[in-house]
């Protein structure tokens, strides 16, 4: 995207000064007065945190953080985990509607806009300041600014990886799938070869992954979903030259599904399962799951699983090479103990806790601090899993992709950030549009119009 | 003081006991009071779990409410009209009709067939009955997950078997194709509930005296005629009641569809409940979702009334 | 209409303790148009036999022939037999006319014709006004008429009736018997009627089959069966009050005189037969007695323990040295009260083989021709 002024080559970061400069809004004093980490909180209510993690390992780890924190700071933390099969968003909204909002919720960059646009998130600039002081500067792209203030405290991030089976590619003499041409050529060759493999899992589903895949594919042709016009954000899918680019992507989708198993209902699970299970030879993913799952399932191709960025159309090389998505914590308005919550968040996203947390994610989600990627960092040092399974090229390749300007969050299509990227994402309309023109049998222009109209009806975009 | 209080405590239990005895016998002697006493808990519960949430949903549908924001903004009943005229709602309603009636037809046919099958006396009939009723014990969530797993095009057992037997040449994503998704969800979502129909029907079948069939045989009836003239009249009203209940339940069915397809592929299996869910939790429009729920209630209520008028399932079949 | 031939028919049921023989190689022929009752105690195999004829049970061996056509392997619905069940199998959801005309419905006859035919039949059995009612609204007798109506509507080859009146009260039973006979005369036709009630069998039958333990004990007219029973079982089962049976010894082989065991009573039987064994059972029916009050008893007799009045007859229960015996007397001609000592004179005697129970000889009714032929 390259829209952020970044001429001196230094990465812009999320500290308060940078935000104020970028947003051009002054006088944001909220929360600044609270001397973070310096004193106990004023409230006796326990800090309430609704976690979207329910694996036993994460539960145990987070409870450990809470206990240590309680001992250290004398602030009680009450963590509620989503039940298995339960829906996180449903539980959060229940608590908010019930007038008993939690202090802390989990949030991803591409989802947080839905909360922010409802004005239910507290500013967290002071938390970020304190975190940056303790760790290092957090690049601006990992934050989410709404109404002039940061609303997300990022903990880790993931980046668009196009994972491919280098064993197959090498054996068949194929180039890594970096561009549309190479991707298509390889997908066709692999699918047609007698090896029980499909070239890729070209997903055209109205699911979370379907949304992610669709948006990523649009960016591969420098096509955008949204464009800003002053205070309004417009749906850009169906207008001008952008529409032509969207059309090109959808035409290509009709072609690419030929090299894929039926992926009309795929979500995150299906895409990495089909790769790790040996059905597909390429998988676009936000993060490392196709590789970590192949490692976990002891697949012979685990080591041969390499990454490139999102394949792009060579004649439209201006595009961003994929999405970078931070995930972290947000504070909810109206909760009982915001000050304690800020302290607990800061506690969780710094020091040995963040190392432990990030390691538990197995290089699927990866650190937001660039220095952690250096061999010998506290994060990498002595971590057998990473050293045994990931070559330096892959580690540094992900780092490079994550921190370069070539990846951006979906919100960064506009400047300032598009708060409606989140409802646009969760409406699943982009995935639906891809479905419509492939399995759904709809005419491409009708599908574009339909998607654009639904986005206008259901998001805040015009 | 202490003497007085001692007396009071000594007296209270006996007095209280006598008095409550009088009240109790009064209640039991008066039919109307007894009726009131017996009905009140059930009514209170019904109001609490059925009426209040419904009224709440109706009320909520009159406001603009974001799922993520506790502030309600009055919009008025025009909202319901907007919902009714929206294409997404109409499409979802159509899918609900297909899913609801299709599922019920499947459940009735399979359920009654199964009942007829296990009603016959043969070696191991009791075991067969027990096994046939087993699926009813399995939670829908488990069925959905296992069903999705078994139907998977890559590693699912069903594709594997169909290819092995030669029915298919290539794996079919049953849940991923617009042609098969709805039918597949209906079948997977129904086989468990077919057992519900079996359960009801079986009880009825076992109350049909054997000599009714022998009588029909002696009149010259063949197997089909015996089913039509002896079995069917006896189980007809059970089937009608089952059909009504199942239609209501299948219209409201959420879990199995959500687990298996999330309403996909595209929106092929997005029935009304899934649509409401999407509106509430993907579009964060709780007010509209409540409106959809309220309209669905109205529709189901109307359907029940019409059904009772036309089919008259409550009419007890003549048994003597 | 047709005759029914049953030839060495056998029906076994399996049970945990091995096969149970319900019908043991039975053979008989029911003539065309004949009314035959099969009578016997519970469990004698009479219903099984009837169900075999109907086809509801598959015989283990043997054959059944209807009007010369072997039907053993033909399914019941194709035999064109009517069957009336003990528990009336009317369909509660069908009106009377629908129930009556159900066999026609199965033949594909249209509703109007069926109604007309049902009306005709209902008039025959005198329930014409009930056509549009449901079975649940009818009395037991009316229901059974409907069941009979259904059985006659299609002119079957024969009617099989399985204790159709056992659920009716005594008065209704009597009415229905008359009714059934009337119907049979009207429609004609072969009827096989199973009952455990010997009185019913006696009144209804042209001929009757007495069954016990899966075997035919006797097949003959009610008169034959009553007066010339084949054995002790038939003698005991048929006739009310029950025949008196006393163990006795026969000194000569003519059977002219028997001595009742454990007494000194010598009784003249009026029998002049030959080859009568020494060890016999002496039988006489309560009606074939003359009872006189006596001061001093010398011979068969005793003290009257109970007098039971039935119509213009009295049944006397007399305590004797060898147990109770029964006698029937005319109330007016023989005024006897409880406590009287009476002497019993036997008018007609039966002698059964003491070991096998087979009838050895019987005397004739006084004034009748001697007849000790027993039908096989």
Residues B119 and B6 in one domain: no
Chain C residues with CB under 8 Å of B218 CB are: 54, 56, 76-77, 81-83
Mutate: best of A260, A262, A457, partner B, most B CBs <10 A: A262
Query: What is the average pLDDT across C233-258?
Result: 89
Tell me whether residue B69 is in a domain.
no
Host H or E run for residue C148? helix C140-152
Greatest extent of chain C over all pairs of C-alpha atoms, in Å = 80
State the average pLDDT for chain A.
Answer: 86
In this complex, the residue of B220, B318, B320 whose CB is nearest that of residue C106 is B220
Which among C168, C192, C7 has a CA at the least distance from the CA of C88? C168
Confidence of residue B1 (pLDDT cuts 50, 70, 90): very low
Is the per-residue pLDDT at C367 higher than 50? no
Domains and CATH numbers, chain C: 4-227 (3.40.50.300), 232-362 (2.40.50.140)
Which among B61, B73, B97, B49 has a CA at the least distance from the CA of B293? B61
pLDDT of residue A85: 57
Number of domains in chain B: 2
pLDDT of residue C334: 75
Query: What is the average pLDDT across A320-345?
Result: 91
CA B254 to chain centre: 11
Residue in B with minimal Cα distance to A115: B68
Q: Which residues pair with A79 in a beta bridge?
A: A49
CA angle A404, A408, A411 (to 5 degrees): 160
Is the per-residue pLDDT at A290 higher than 90? yes
Q: Which residues pair with C328 in a beta bridge?
A: C315
Residue in B with minimal Cα distance to C159: B218
The per-residue pLDDT for range B46-99, each reduced to its tens digit, is: 888 878 888 888 888 888 888 777 778 888 888 888 888 888 899 999 999 999
Tell me whether residue B260 is in a domain.
yes
Residues B256 and B109 in one domain: yes
pTM of the model: 0.72
pLDDT of residue C373: 40
The per-residue pLDDT for range B88-107, each reduced to its tens digit, is: 899 999 999 999 999 999 99
Greatest extent of chain B over all pairs of C-alpha atoms, in Å = 97
**Minimal C-alpha gap between A216 and chain B (Å):** 18
Chain A residues with CB under 8 Å of B65 CB are: 97
Residues B183 and B249 in one domain: yes
Query: What is the average pLDDT across B111-129?
Result: 81
Of B50-59, B129-138, C147-156, the least confident: B129-138
Is the per-residue pLDDT at B114 higher than 90? no
Of A326-335, B11-20, C279-288, the least confident: B11-20
State the average pLDDT for chain B.
Answer: 82
Residues 6+ apart with CB under 8 A from A96: A120, A332, A334, B68, B69, B70
Mutate: best of C53, C76, C89, partner B, most B CBs <10 A: C89
Contact between A362 and A384 under an 8 Å Cβ cutoff? The reply is no
Strands (E), C168-312: 190-195, 207-212, 215-220, 244-250, 257-260, 266-268, 279-284, 289-293, 301-310
pLDDT of residue A318: 72
By the CB < 8 Å criterion, does A205 face chain B? yes
In this complex, the residue of C93, C103, C134 whose CB is nearest that of residue B219 is C103
By the CB < 8 Å criterion, does B135 face chain A? no
Residues B33 and B100 in one domain: no
Contact between A436 and A447 under an 8 Å Cβ cutoff? The reply is yes
Mark yes or no for CB contact A205/B265 under 8 Å: yes
Tell me whether residue B65 is in a domain.
no
Query: What is the average pLDDT across B275-282?
Result: 86
**Minimal C-alpha gap between A347 and chain B (Å):** 27
* CA–CA dist C215, C194 (Å, integer): 15
The per-residue pLDDT for range B299-320, each reduced to its tens digit, is: 888 888 888 888 776 665 554 4
State the angle between helix axes of A240-256 and A429-437 in degrees (0 to 180), rounded to the nearest 10. 60
Is the per-residue pLDDT at B195 higher than 50? yes
Is the per-residue pLDDT at B203 higher than 90? no
Interface of A with B in 15-74 (CB under 8 A): none
pLDDT of residue C50: 92
Q: HSE, CB side, 13 Å, CA atoms: give it for residue A282.
A: 32
- DSSP letters for A26-95: ----TTTTS-TTTS--S--SPEEEEES--SHHHHHHHHHHHHHHHHHH---EEEEEPPTT--HHHHHHHH
Mark yes or no for CB contact B283/A427 under 8 Å: yes
Phi and psi angles of residue A104, each rounded to the nearest 5 degrees, phi first: -125, 135
Contact between A46 and A79 under an 8 Å Cβ cutoff? The reply is no
Residues 6+ apart with CB under 8 A from A163: A275, A282, A283, A284, A285, A290, A291, A305, A306, A307
The per-residue pLDDT for range A60-98, each reduced to its tens digit, is: 999 999 999 999 989 999 999 987 556 788 888 888 888
State the average pLDDT for chain C.
Answer: 86
The per-residue pLDDT for range A141-171, each reduced to its tens digit, is: 999 888 889 999 999 999 999 999 999 999 9
For A227, A316, A435, B45, C146, the CA distances from A444, given in Å and listed in that order, are 21, 20, 11, 53, 73
Contact between C152 and C183 under an 8 Å Cβ cutoff? The reply is yes
Tell me whether residue B166 is in a domain.
yes
Mark yes or no for CB contact A266/B176 under 8 Å: yes
- The CATH number linked to B168 is 1.10.3720.10
Confidence of residue B252 (pLDDT cuts 50, 70, 90): confident
B/C interface, count of CB pairs below 8 Å: 64
Mark yes or no for CB contact B225/C78 under 8 Å: no
Residues B111 and B221 in one domain: yes
Residues 6+ apart with CB under 8 A from C105: B229, C98, C114
ipTM of the complex: 0.77
Q: Which CATH class is domain A159-322+412-458?
A: alpha beta
Mark yes or no for CB contact A206/B261 under 8 Å: no
Chain C residues with CB under 8 Å of B222 CB are: 77
**Mind spelling out the 3-state secondary structure of B162-231?**
HHHHCCCCCCCCCCCCCCCHHHHHHHHHHHHHHHHHHHHHHHHHCCCCHHHHHHHHHCCCCHHHHHHHHH
Contact between C4 and C58 under an 8 Å Cβ cutoff? The reply is no
Confidence of residue A4 (pLDDT cuts 50, 70, 90): very low
- The two tokens of residue C118 are 């049902």
| First-last CA distance in chain B | 73
* CA–CA dist B162, A212 (Å, integer): 33
pLDDT of residue A18: 42
Which among B175, B211, B191, B184 has a CA at the least distance from the CA of B140? B191
Query: What is the average pLDDT across B257-266?
Result: 85
Query: Domain range for residue B128?
Result: 78-311
Residues B215 and B245 in one domain: yes
Mark yes or no for CB contact A96/B69 under 8 Å: yes
Mutate: best of B204, B209, B215, partner C, most C CBs <10 A: B215
Residues B34 and B123 in one domain: no
pLDDT of residue B286: 85
Mark yes or no for CB contact B230/C77 under 8 Å: no
Which among B251, B256, B258, B297 has a CA at the least distance from the CA of B277? B258
Q: For domain A16-157+323-403, give the CATH number.
A: 3.40.190.10
Residues B20 and B104 in one domain: no
Is the per-residue pLDDT at A52 higher than 70? yes
In this complex, the residue of B211, B215, B320 whose CB is nearest that of residue C136 is B320
The per-residue pLDDT for range C201-210, each reduced to its tens digit, is: 998 899 999 9
Mark yes or no for CB contact C106/B230 under 8 Å: no
Tell me whether residue B192 is in a domain.
yes
pLDDT of residue B9: 57
Residues B110 and B44 in one domain: no
* CA–CA dist A177, A316 (Å, integer): 16
**Minimal C-alpha gap between A186 and chain B (Å):** 21
* Domain positions in chain A: 16-157+323-403, 159-322+412-458
* CA–CA dist B74, B93 (Å, integer): 26
Number of helices (H), then strands (E), belonging to chain A: the values are 18, 12
The per-residue pLDDT for range C24-47, each reduced to its tens digit, is: 999 999 998 899 999 999 889 999
In this complex, the residue of B67, B154, B261 whose CB is nearest that of residue A265 is B261
Chain A residues with CB under 8 Å of B141 CB are: 85
Chain B residues with CB under 8 Å of C102 CB are: 216, 219, 229
Mutate: best of B216, B220, B224, partner C, most C CBs <10 A: B220
Interface of C with B in 121-160 (CB under 8 A): 134-136, 150, 154
């Amino acid at each position: 995207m390259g829209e952020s002024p970044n001429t001196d080559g230094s990465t812009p970061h999320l500290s308060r000064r940078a935000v104020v400069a970028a947003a051009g809004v002054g006088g944001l004093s909220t929360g600044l007065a609270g001397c973070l980490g310096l004193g106990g909180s004023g409230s006796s209510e326990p800090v309430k945190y609704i976690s979207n993690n329910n694996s036993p390992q994460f539960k145990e780890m987070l409870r450990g953080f809470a206990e240590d924190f309680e001992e250290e700071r004398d602030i009680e933390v009450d963590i509620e985990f989503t039940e298995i099969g339960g829906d996180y968003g449903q539980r959060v909204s229940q608590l908010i509607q019930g007038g008993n909002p939690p202090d802390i919720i989990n949030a991803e960059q591409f989802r947080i806009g839905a909360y922010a646009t409802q004005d239910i998130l507290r500013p967290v600039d002071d938390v970020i300041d304190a975190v940056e002081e303790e760790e290092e500067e957090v690049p601006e792209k990992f934050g989410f600014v709404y109404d002039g203030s940061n609303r997300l405290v990022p903990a880790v991030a993931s980046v668009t990886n196009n994972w491919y089976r280098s064993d197959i590619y090498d054996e068949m003499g194929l180039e890594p799938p970096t561009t549309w041409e190479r991707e298509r050529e390889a997908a066709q060759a692999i699918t047609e070869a007698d090896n029980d493999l499909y070239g890729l899992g070209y997903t055209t589903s109205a699911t979370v992954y379907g949304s992610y895949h669709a948006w990523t594919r649009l960016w591969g042709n420098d096509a955008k979903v949204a464009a800003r016009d002053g205070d309004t954000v417009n749906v850009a899918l169906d207008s001008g030259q952008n529409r032509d680019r969207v059309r090109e992507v959808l035409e290509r989708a009709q072609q690419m599904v030929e090299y894929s198993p039926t992926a009309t209902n795929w979500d995150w699970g299906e895409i990495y399962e089909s790769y790790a299970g040996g059905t597909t030879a390429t998988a676009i993913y936000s993060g490392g799951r196709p590789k970590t799952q192949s490692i976990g399932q002891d697949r012979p191709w685990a080591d041969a699983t390499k990454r490139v960025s999102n394949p792009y159309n060579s004649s439209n090389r201006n595009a961003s090479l994929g999405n970078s998505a931070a995930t972290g914590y947000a504070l909810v308005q109206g909760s009982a103990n915001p000050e304690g919550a800020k302290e607990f968040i800061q506690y969780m996203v710094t020091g040995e806790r963040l190392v432990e947390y990030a390691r538990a994610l197995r290089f699927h989600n990866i650190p937001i601090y660039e220095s952690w990627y250096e061999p010998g960092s506290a994060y990498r040092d002595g971590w057998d899993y990473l050293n045994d399974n990931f070559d330096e090229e892959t580690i540094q390749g992900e780092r490079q992709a994550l921190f370069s300007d070539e990846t951006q969050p979906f919100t960064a299509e506009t400047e300032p950030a598009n708060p409606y990227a989140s409802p646009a994402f969760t409406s699943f309309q982009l995935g639906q549009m891809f479905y419509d023109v492939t399995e759904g049998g709809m005419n491409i222009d009708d599908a574009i119009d339909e998607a654009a109209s639904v986005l206008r009806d259901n998001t805040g975009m015009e | 003081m202490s003497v007085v209080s001692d007396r009071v405590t000594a007296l209270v239990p006996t007095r209280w006991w006598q008095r409550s005895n009088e009240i109790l016998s009064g209640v039991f002697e008066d039919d109307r009071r007894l009726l009131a006493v017996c009905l009140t808990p059930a009514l209170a519960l019904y109001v609490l779990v059925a009426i209040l949430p419904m009224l709440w949903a109706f009320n909520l549908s009159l406001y603009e409410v974001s799922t993520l924001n506790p502030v309600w903004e009055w919009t008025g009943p025009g909202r319901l009209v907007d919902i009714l005229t929206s294409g997404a709602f109409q499409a979802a309603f159509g899918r609900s009709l297909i899913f609801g009636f299709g599922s019920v037809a499947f459940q009735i046919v399979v359920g009654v067939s199964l009942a007829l099958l296990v009603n016959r006396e043969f070696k191991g009939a009791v075991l067969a009955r027990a096994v046939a009723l087993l699926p009813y014990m399995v939670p829908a969530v488990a069925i959905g997950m296992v069903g999705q797993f078994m139907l998977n095009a890559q590693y699912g057992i069903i594709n594997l078997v169909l290819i092995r037997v030669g029915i298919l040449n290539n794996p079919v994503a049953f849940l991923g194709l617009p042609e098969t998704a709805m039918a597949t969800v209906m079948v997977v979502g129904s086989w468990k509930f077919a057992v519900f129909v079996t359960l009801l029907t079986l009880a009825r079948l076992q109350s049909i005296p054997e000599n009714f069939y022998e009588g029909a045989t002696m009149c010259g009836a063949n197997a089909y005629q015996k089913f039509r003239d002896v079995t069917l009249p006896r189980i007809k009203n059970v089937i009608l009641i089952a059909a009504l209940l199942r239609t209501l339940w299948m219209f409201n069915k959420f879990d199995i569809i959500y687990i298996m397809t999330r309403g996909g592929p595209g929106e092929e299996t997005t029935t009304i409940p899934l649509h409401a869910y999407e509106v509430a939790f993907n579009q964060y429009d709780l007010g509209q979702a409540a409106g959809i729920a309220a309209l669905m209630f109205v529709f189901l209520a109307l359907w029940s009334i019409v059904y009772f008028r036309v089919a008259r399932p409550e009419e007890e079949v003549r048994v003597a | 209409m047709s005759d029914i031939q049953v030839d060495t028919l056998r029906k076994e049921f399996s049970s945990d303790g091995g096969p149970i023989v319900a019908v043991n190689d039975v053979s008989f022929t029911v003539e065309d148009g004949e009314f035959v009752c099969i009578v016997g105690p519970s469990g004698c195999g009479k219903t099984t036999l009837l169900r075999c004829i109907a086809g509801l049970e598959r015989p283990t061996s043997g054959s059944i022939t209807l009007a010369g056509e072997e039907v053993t392997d033909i399914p019941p619905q194709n035999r064109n037999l009517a069957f009336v069940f003990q528990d009336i199998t009317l369909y509660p959801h069908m009106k009377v006319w629908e129930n009556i005309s159900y066999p026609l419905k199965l033949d594909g006859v249209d509703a109007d014709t069926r109604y007309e035919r049902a009306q005709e039949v209902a008039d025959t059995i005198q329930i014409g006004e009930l056509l549009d009612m449901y079975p649940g609204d009818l009395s037991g007798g009316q229901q059974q008429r409907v069941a009979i109506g259904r059985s006659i509507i299609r002119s079957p080859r024969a009617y099989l009736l399985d204790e159709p009146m056992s659920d009716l009260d005594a008065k209704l039973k009597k009415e229905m018997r008359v009714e059934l006979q009337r119907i049979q005369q009207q429609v004609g036709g072969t009827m096989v009627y199973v009952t455990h009630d010997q009185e019913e069998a006696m009144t209804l039958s042209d001929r009757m089959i007495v069954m016990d333990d899966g075997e035919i004990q006797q097949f003959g007219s009610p008169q034959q069966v009553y007066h010339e029973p084949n054995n002790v079982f038939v003698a005991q089962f048929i006739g009310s009050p029950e025949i008196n049976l006393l163990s006795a010894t026969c000194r000569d082989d003519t059977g002219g005189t028997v001595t009742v065991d454990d007494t000194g009573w010598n009784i003249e039987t009026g029998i002049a037969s030959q080859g009568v064994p020494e060890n016999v059972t002496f039988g006489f029916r309560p009606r074939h007695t003359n009872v006189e009050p006596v001061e001093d008893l010398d011979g068969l007799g005793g003290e009257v323990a109970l007098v039971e009045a039935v119509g213009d007859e009295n049944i006397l229960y007399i305590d004797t040295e060898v147990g109770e015996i029964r006698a029937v007397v005319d109330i007016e001609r023989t005024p006897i009260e409880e406590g009287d000592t009476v002497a019993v004179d036997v008018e007609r005697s039966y002698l059964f083989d003491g070991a096998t129970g087979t009838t050895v000889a019987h005397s004739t009714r006084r004034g009748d021709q001697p007849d000790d032929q027993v039908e096989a």
